Structure 1
Amino acid sequence: MPDVRANPDAEPIVSLKEVHKRFGDNHVLRGVSLDVGRGEVVAIIGKSGSGKSTALRCMDYLETIDSGAITVCGHRVDQHDVDLKALRLDIGIVFQSYNLFPHLTVEENIMLAPRSVKKMPKAEARQLAHRMLGQVGLLEKASQYPEQLSGGQQQRAAIARSLAMEPKVMLFDEVTSALDPQLTGEVLRVIEDLAAKGMTMIMVTHEMNFARRVASTIVFMNDGKIWEQGDASILNNPQTEALQEFLRNEL
């Protein structure tokens, strides 16, 4: 895959500096710092409870942090007066659960945000929806309802819905964990295609082979901290006992 990353000296498009997050007595993030360059694909790995998904949710202001700083696409996400509408025009997030509206067709699900947020005319929004569905290989499903789709197709529709807002950064939170291997492959091919086109992506994943093949940076989190970070070679030569143990359990 071609290296589509921008100049490494350029300003990062996502930056976390000494981020701490607590849920009551549970100190979930313990000083997490991470810079992501434009066009970079970052895979965050680690065992359950290591803080991976919480870190991702803090980037989109779905969770607020206790201390530290987060900047995403020029927005200071750690500040309480952040313009959420502007932030979420620049960042898309896809979860393990598809969150499609069951009473709307696939194309209507995708048209909803461009029409309500961007005030896009209906005909233009429908054209956009069809273009996004074509990108994820679902154009023939445009008039169907979510319950008529397989899990993999619903997840691809959820990705198309996020792409319709033309975000600068995409966040993926364990988007394949509820899918069987064949459906997982469908979704990962869509994400891999986005990576090849230069989309900046940060994904929490347990798909080690996919992370090895697609990610420009792999981040291993453990106990609320980043323990190791680098390219795919860190999976072949882990420097900490924690990553060695994690990889043994994943095989």
Structure 2
Amino acid sequence: MSRGKFATYVCLLTVALIAFIIGTPFLLKAAVSATHCAPDTCGAVGLVFGLYGRMLGVLIFGTAMLAAIFARCRRAGLSSWWVVASLFWLLAARDALMAGLNFWAVGFSLGILSFRWPTTLIFLFAFVTFLSLWKGSDENGSDPTPRSWKMAQASAASSAIISAVMSISLFVTLAWIGGLRLINPQSAIMIIQNSLYVRIGTQFITLTTVLWLLLFMFAGALMRIVVSQGRANRQVPPTRFSRGTS
């Protein structure tokens, strides 16, 4: 997928997702009205539509976005590992994607007891923006700054690992919904929450705080690569990007 086509594609996907999330209350109201449910059953109807309807929409968005990232990375000469990192970034942002502007009972059903800033979703869109601006090997782009590229890879890998840990409770909850009850979702959530704290002396540092630091490193490194490439393209003829550096 070319850079221009990728940028257009992900912009349309993003606009569709935002419209879907904002329009969820109206869609739920229309769905509940269409079923002519009784007052004591409308809550259950809203939960079913809110849970599975939003899940379907998010699944379509996630699949389409990951497919686009895979196609762009493959053509630009980047490793397919970035698709895996993007998957974990999406999974860790489940509270915003699944419960944002949704029926209130959906959050309880999925074990989403509180909302966090969708930090990992910002990771995803920072990388998508980079893919939309950076010229890869298919466009004879100049090589990225090695130090900046290594910093971007290291921060992305660290954030993907943290995102994978944060996503364990989601898999446990979905297993319960599907009838596979290996461990209580609430117990899994408590275990994950306890693991997201690092104690240094008498101070506690949350891994979600570390995610913000990694995000600044990641976005800064990608921005520097794009800016450096723009300067290089104005000064010297472009060279092909080596696949080995990805």
Same fold (TM over 0.5): no
Greater strand percent: which structure?
1
Point out the structure with max Rg over C-alpha.
Answer: 2
Greater helix percent: which structure?
2
Q: Return the TM-score normalized by structure 2.
A: 0.22
